[in-house]
Amino acid sequence: MEERPRFIGRLFMLNQVDGSRRLYFLIQLENLAAASLLAQS
């Protein structure tokens, strides 16, 4: 559980490098979160 926030934090740090990638990464994170919720249920 503790590894996931660090991984997400790393992605957000990468997003600061290129603003145009931020939306793409946020969409991917949204898809990842939805997939993990479906997998847990």
Contact indicator for 15, 22 with CB cutoff of 8 Å: yes
Contact 29, 8 (CB under 8 A): yes
Confidence bin at 39 (pLDDT 50/70/90):
very high
Who has greater pLDDT, 28 or 13?
28
Residue-wise pLDDT tens digits, 16-26: 666 767 788 88
Q: Which of 11, 16, 13 lies closest to 31 in space, CA to CA?
A: 11
Phi-psi region of 18 (alpha: psi -120 to 50; beta: other; left: phi over 0): beta
Q: 3-class DSSP state for residue 29? A: helix
Structure tokens at 31: 């898809």
